[in-house]
Protein backbone atom coordinates (compact mmCIF):
# COMPACT_ATOMS: atom_id res chain seq x y z
CA UNK A 1 0.00 0.00 0.00
CA UNK A 2 1.19 3.52 -0.78
CA UNK A 3 1.14 5.49 2.49
CA UNK A 4 2.17 8.84 1.02
CA UNK A 5 1.47 9.97 -2.52
CA UNK A 6 2.71 13.32 -3.78
CA UNK A 7 1.08 14.38 -7.02
CA UNK A 8 2.18 17.25 -9.30
CA UNK A 9 3.45 19.29 -6.38
CA UNK A 10 4.55 22.88 -6.90
CA UNK A 11 5.68 24.55 -3.67
CA UNK A 12 8.06 27.09 -2.16
CA UNK A 13 8.08 30.11 0.11
CA UNK A 14 5.97 33.06 -1.01
CA UNK A 15 7.42 34.28 -4.30
CA UNK A 16 10.38 31.86 -4.10
CA UNK A 17 9.34 28.83 -6.12
CA UNK A 18 11.35 25.73 -5.19
CA UNK A 19 9.62 22.49 -6.27
CA UNK A 20 8.21 21.87 -9.74
CA UNK A 21 5.84 19.04 -10.62
CA UNK A 22 7.15 16.63 -8.01
CA UNK A 23 5.63 13.12 -7.92
CA UNK A 24 6.63 10.71 -5.17
CA UNK A 25 5.19 7.44 -3.81
CA UNK A 26 6.21 6.18 -0.39
CA UNK A 27 5.15 2.57 0.24
CA UNK A 28 4.07 1.57 3.71
CA UNK A 29 6.92 -0.06 5.65
CA UNK A 30 9.64 1.15 3.28
CA UNK A 31 12.62 3.46 3.50
CA UNK A 32 12.44 6.03 0.71
CA UNK A 33 15.42 8.33 0.21
CA UNK A 34 15.56 11.77 -1.35
CA UNK A 35 19.03 12.72 -2.52
CA UNK A 36 20.42 15.59 -4.54
CA UNK A 37 22.85 18.50 -4.46
CA UNK A 38 22.74 21.49 -2.09
CA UNK A 39 19.78 23.75 -2.67
CA UNK A 40 17.92 21.12 -4.73
CA UNK A 41 14.82 21.51 -2.58
CA UNK A 42 15.10 18.39 -0.40
CA UNK A 43 14.26 20.17 2.86
CA UNK A 44 11.50 22.09 1.09
CA UNK A 45 9.95 18.77 0.10
CA UNK A 46 9.79 17.68 3.76
CA UNK A 47 8.58 21.16 4.77
CA UNK A 48 5.82 20.87 2.15
CA UNK A 49 4.64 17.54 3.57
CA UNK A 50 4.69 18.91 7.13
CA UNK A 51 2.82 22.15 6.41
CA UNK A 52 5.85 24.43 6.63
CA UNK A 53 6.03 25.61 3.01
CA UNK A 54 3.52 27.19 0.63
CA UNK A 55 1.78 24.76 -1.70
CA UNK A 56 0.85 26.41 -5.01
CA UNK A 57 -0.73 23.34 -6.56
CA UNK A 58 -0.76 19.57 -6.38
CA UNK A 59 -1.76 17.01 -3.79
CA UNK A 60 -0.14 15.34 -0.82
CA UNK A 61 -2.19 12.26 -0.01
CA UNK A 62 -1.38 10.66 3.32
CA UNK A 63 -3.26 7.53 4.35
CA UNK A 64 -5.98 8.32 1.83
CA UNK A 65 -6.58 12.02 2.51
CA UNK A 66 -5.14 15.18 1.05
CA UNK A 67 -3.09 16.96 3.72
CA UNK A 68 -1.81 19.80 1.50
CA UNK A 69 -2.50 23.08 3.26
CA UNK A 70 -3.01 21.63 6.76
CA UNK A 71 -1.05 23.05 9.71
CA UNK A 72 1.90 21.17 11.25
CA UNK A 73 0.02 20.28 14.47
CA UNK A 74 -2.84 18.78 12.42
CA UNK A 75 -0.37 16.81 10.29
CA UNK A 76 1.39 15.56 13.41
CA UNK A 77 -1.93 14.33 14.83
CA UNK A 78 -2.58 12.38 11.62
CA UNK A 79 0.61 10.37 12.20
CA UNK A 80 3.58 12.13 10.60
CA UNK A 81 6.72 12.87 12.64
CA UNK A 82 9.45 15.28 11.53
CA UNK A 83 13.10 15.36 12.55
CA UNK A 84 14.23 18.68 11.06
CA UNK A 85 17.79 19.59 10.15
CA UNK A 86 17.79 22.40 12.71
CA UNK A 87 18.37 21.50 16.33
CA UNK A 88 14.97 21.27 18.03
CA UNK A 89 16.25 20.09 21.42
CA UNK A 90 16.10 22.16 24.60
CA UNK A 91 19.74 22.12 25.78
CA UNK A 92 19.07 23.34 29.31
CA UNK A 93 16.45 20.63 29.94
CA UNK A 94 17.15 16.98 30.73
CA UNK A 95 16.60 14.16 28.25
CA UNK A 96 13.48 13.18 30.23
CA UNK A 97 12.09 16.73 30.19
CA UNK A 98 12.65 16.93 26.43
CA UNK A 99 10.72 13.68 25.96
CA UNK A 100 7.94 14.99 28.23
CA UNK A 101 7.65 18.20 26.18
CA UNK A 102 7.54 16.25 22.91
CA UNK A 103 4.50 14.40 24.26
CA UNK A 104 2.53 17.42 25.43
CA UNK A 105 -1.16 16.59 25.33
CA UNK A 106 -0.73 12.87 25.99
CA UNK A 107 -2.24 11.58 29.24
CA UNK A 108 0.42 10.51 31.76
CA UNK A 109 -0.26 6.76 31.35
CA UNK A 110 0.16 6.97 27.56
CA UNK A 111 3.25 9.14 27.99
CA UNK A 112 4.85 6.51 30.24
CA UNK A 113 4.12 3.79 27.70
CA UNK A 114 5.59 5.86 24.86
CA UNK A 115 8.71 6.65 26.92
CA UNK A 116 9.20 2.93 27.61
CA UNK A 117 8.84 2.12 23.89
CA UNK A 118 11.18 4.87 22.79
CA UNK A 119 13.83 4.05 25.40
CA UNK A 120 13.71 0.42 24.34
CA UNK A 121 14.70 1.58 20.85
CA UNK A 122 17.35 3.94 22.27
CA UNK A 123 18.79 2.22 25.38
CA UNK A 124 21.66 4.71 25.44
CA UNK A 125 19.16 7.51 26.18
CA UNK A 126 17.96 5.55 29.20
CA UNK A 127 21.44 5.87 30.71
CA UNK A 128 21.40 9.59 29.95
CA UNK A 129 17.82 10.23 31.05
CA UNK A 130 18.67 12.85 33.71
CA UNK A 131 21.48 14.53 31.81
CA UNK A 132 20.99 18.02 30.40
CA UNK A 133 20.52 17.60 26.65
CA UNK A 134 23.18 20.26 26.01
CA UNK A 135 25.84 17.93 27.43
CA UNK A 136 25.12 15.08 25.00
CA UNK A 137 27.48 14.25 22.12
CA UNK A 138 26.45 15.08 18.55
CA UNK A 139 25.39 11.48 17.92
CA UNK A 140 23.43 11.24 21.16
CA UNK A 141 21.65 14.50 20.35
CA UNK A 142 20.69 13.13 16.92
CA UNK A 143 19.30 9.99 18.60
CA UNK A 144 17.33 12.21 21.01
CA UNK A 145 15.94 14.26 18.10
CA UNK A 146 14.62 11.04 16.51
CA UNK A 147 13.28 9.86 19.89
CA UNK A 148 11.36 13.14 20.29
CA UNK A 149 9.61 12.61 16.94
CA UNK A 150 8.76 9.03 17.95
CA UNK A 151 6.99 10.15 21.14
CA UNK A 152 3.83 10.78 19.11
CA UNK A 153 3.95 7.29 17.62
CA UNK A 154 4.05 8.35 13.95
CA UNK A 155 3.24 6.05 11.02
CA UNK A 156 5.54 8.06 8.77
CA UNK A 157 8.82 9.60 9.91
CA UNK A 158 10.48 12.41 7.94
CA UNK A 159 14.25 12.58 8.57
CA UNK A 160 16.31 15.53 7.34
CA UNK A 161 20.05 14.88 7.11
CA UNK A 162 20.28 13.03 10.40
CA UNK A 163 23.84 11.81 9.74
CA UNK A 164 25.43 15.14 8.77
CA UNK A 165 28.44 16.19 10.90
CA UNK A 166 28.62 12.89 12.77
CA UNK A 167 31.71 10.72 13.24
CA UNK A 168 31.68 7.61 10.96
CA UNK A 169 30.81 5.22 13.81
CA UNK A 170 27.81 7.37 14.78
CA UNK A 171 26.68 7.63 11.15
CA UNK A 172 26.59 3.83 11.11
CA UNK A 173 24.66 3.63 14.39
CA UNK A 174 22.08 6.23 13.35
CA UNK A 175 21.49 4.43 10.03
CA UNK A 176 21.15 1.11 11.89
CA UNK A 177 18.47 2.74 14.05
CA UNK A 178 16.63 3.91 10.95
CA UNK A 179 16.61 0.33 9.61
CA UNK A 180 15.42 -0.89 13.03
CA UNK A 181 12.53 1.60 12.95
CA UNK A 182 11.43 0.27 9.58
CA UNK A 183 11.45 -3.26 11.08
CA UNK A 184 9.09 -1.94 13.76
CA UNK A 185 6.70 -0.91 11.00
CA UNK A 186 7.47 2.80 10.76
CA UNK A 187 7.64 4.13 7.21
CA UNK A 188 10.65 6.36 6.60
CA UNK A 189 11.24 9.25 4.20
CA UNK A 190 14.87 10.27 4.57
CA UNK A 191 16.71 13.21 3.02
CA UNK A 192 20.46 12.79 2.67
CA UNK A 193 23.14 15.02 1.26
CA UNK A 194 25.59 12.09 1.33
CA UNK A 195 23.93 9.96 -1.30
CA UNK A 196 25.85 6.73 -0.68
CA UNK A 197 24.60 6.61 2.94
CA UNK A 198 20.98 6.76 1.83
CA UNK A 199 21.51 4.31 -1.03
CA UNK A 200 22.79 1.69 1.41
CA UNK A 201 19.54 1.52 3.38
CA UNK A 202 16.81 2.71 0.99
CA UNK A 203 14.27 0.55 -0.82
CA UNK A 204 13.51 3.34 -3.28
CA UNK A 205 15.33 6.54 -4.15
CA UNK A 206 14.42 9.86 -5.76
CA UNK A 207 17.05 12.20 -7.13
CA UNK A 208 16.05 15.84 -6.84
CA UNK A 209 17.90 18.63 -8.65
CA UNK A 210 16.81 22.26 -9.13
CA UNK A 211 13.42 21.39 -7.67
CA UNK A 212 12.63 18.59 -10.13
CA UNK A 213 12.77 14.81 -9.87
CA UNK A 214 15.51 13.53 -12.21
CA UNK A 215 15.39 9.85 -11.24
CA UNK A 216 13.01 7.51 -9.41
CA UNK A 217 13.76 3.84 -8.80
CA UNK A 218 15.77 1.33 -6.83
CA UNK A 219 19.20 2.31 -5.49
CA UNK A 220 20.91 -0.36 -7.62
CA UNK A 221 19.39 1.13 -10.80
CA UNK A 222 20.66 4.60 -9.88
CA UNK A 223 24.14 3.22 -9.21
CA UNK A 224 24.26 2.12 -12.85
CA UNK A 225 23.44 5.62 -14.13
CA UNK A 226 26.97 6.94 -14.15
CA UNK A 227 26.06 10.19 -15.88
CA UNK A 228 23.46 11.14 -13.26
CA UNK A 229 25.81 10.25 -10.40
CA UNK A 230 28.56 12.37 -11.89
CA UNK A 231 26.39 15.30 -12.91
CA UNK A 232 24.34 15.71 -9.73
CA UNK A 233 26.20 13.97 -6.96
CA UNK A 234 29.85 14.38 -7.92
CA UNK A 235 30.37 10.61 -7.73
CA UNK A 236 32.93 9.40 -10.29
P1 LIG B 1 20.63 21.68 1.52
O2 LIG B 1 21.16 20.30 1.34
O3 LIG B 1 21.64 22.74 1.25
O4 LIG B 1 19.86 21.88 2.80
P5 LIG B 1 18.13 21.35 0.09
O6 LIG B 1 18.14 20.45 -1.08
O7 LIG B 1 17.55 20.85 1.36
O8 LIG B 1 19.59 21.91 0.32
P9 LIG B 1 16.32 23.56 0.41
O10 LIG B 1 16.82 23.86 1.79
O11 LIG B 1 14.98 22.97 0.27
O12 LIG B 1 17.36 22.65 -0.37
O13 LIG B 1 16.40 24.92 -0.41
C14 LIG B 1 15.89 25.07 -1.73
C15 LIG B 1 15.78 26.54 -2.06
O16 LIG B 1 14.80 27.17 -1.25
C17 LIG B 1 17.06 27.32 -1.83
O18 LIG B 1 17.23 28.20 -2.91
C19 LIG B 1 16.81 28.08 -0.55
O20 LIG B 1 17.51 29.29 -0.52
C21 LIG B 1 15.31 28.30 -0.58
N22 LIG B 1 14.74 28.34 0.78
C23 LIG B 1 14.87 27.40 1.72
N24 LIG B 1 14.19 27.72 2.85
C25 LIG B 1 13.62 28.92 2.61
C26 LIG B 1 12.75 29.81 3.36
N27 LIG B 1 12.35 29.50 4.59
N28 LIG B 1 12.37 30.96 2.75
C29 LIG B 1 12.75 31.25 1.51
N30 LIG B 1 13.55 30.46 0.74
C31 LIG B 1 13.97 29.32 1.27
- Ligand 1 pocket test target in 43, 56, 162, 189 with most atoms within 8 Å of CB: 43
CA of 42 to the centre of ligand 1 (A): 8
What's the predicted TM-score (pTM) here? 0.94
So what's the pLDDT on residue 39? 92
Give phi and psi for 170, each to the nearest 5: -75, -35
Q: Is residue 236 scored above 80 in pLDDT?
A: no
Q: C-alpha distances in angstroms, 175 versus 33, 68, 143, 168?
A: 12, 29, 10, 11
CA of 189 to the centre of ligand 1 (A): 18
CA of 16 to the centre of ligand 1 (A): 10
Specify the range with the lowest mean pLDDT, choosing from 54-58, 172-176, 224-228, 229-233: 229-233
Among protein residues, the one whose CA lies closest to atom 25 of ligand 1: 13
The complex's ipTM works out to 0.94
- Ligand 1 pocket test target in 10, 41, 209 with most atoms within 8 Å of CB: 41
Confidence of residue 234 (pLDDT cuts 50, 70, 90): confident
Mean pLDDT taken over the chain = 94
Q: Is residue 79 scored above 70 in pLDDT?
A: yes
CA distance 39 to 41: 5
CA of 43 to the centre of ligand 1 (A): 6
Neighbouring-strand partners of residue 187: 156
Residue-wise pLDDT for 164-221, tens only, equals 888 889 899 999 999 999 999 999 999 998 888 889 999 999 999 999 999 999 999 9
Among protein residues, the one whose CA lies closest to atom 31 of ligand 1: 13
CA of 39 to the centre of ligand 1 (A): 5
CA of 19 to the centre of ligand 1 (A): 10
Query: Which residues have CB under 6 Å of ligand 1?
Result: 13, 16, 18, 36, 38-44, 193
Terminal alpha carbon distance of the chain: 36
- Ligand 1 pocket test target in 11, 12, 18 with most atoms within 8 Å of CB: 18
Do 25 and 4 contact (CB within 8 A), yes or no? yes
So what's the pLDDT on residue 196? 85
Q: C-alpha distances in angstroms, 198 versus 133, 143, 166, 178, 202?
A: 27, 17, 15, 10, 6
Helix (H, G, I), strand (E, B) or coil at 194: coil
Average pLDDT over residues 26-49: 96
So what's the pLDDT on residue 131? 96
CA of 46 to the centre of ligand 1 (A): 11
Amino acid sequence: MVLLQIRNLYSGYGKIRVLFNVNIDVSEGSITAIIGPNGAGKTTLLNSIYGLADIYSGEIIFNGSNIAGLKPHQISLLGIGYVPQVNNIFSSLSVYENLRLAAVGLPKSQFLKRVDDVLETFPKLKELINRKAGTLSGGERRMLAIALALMKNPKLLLLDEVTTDLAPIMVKRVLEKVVELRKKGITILIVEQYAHRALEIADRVYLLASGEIRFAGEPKELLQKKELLELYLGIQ
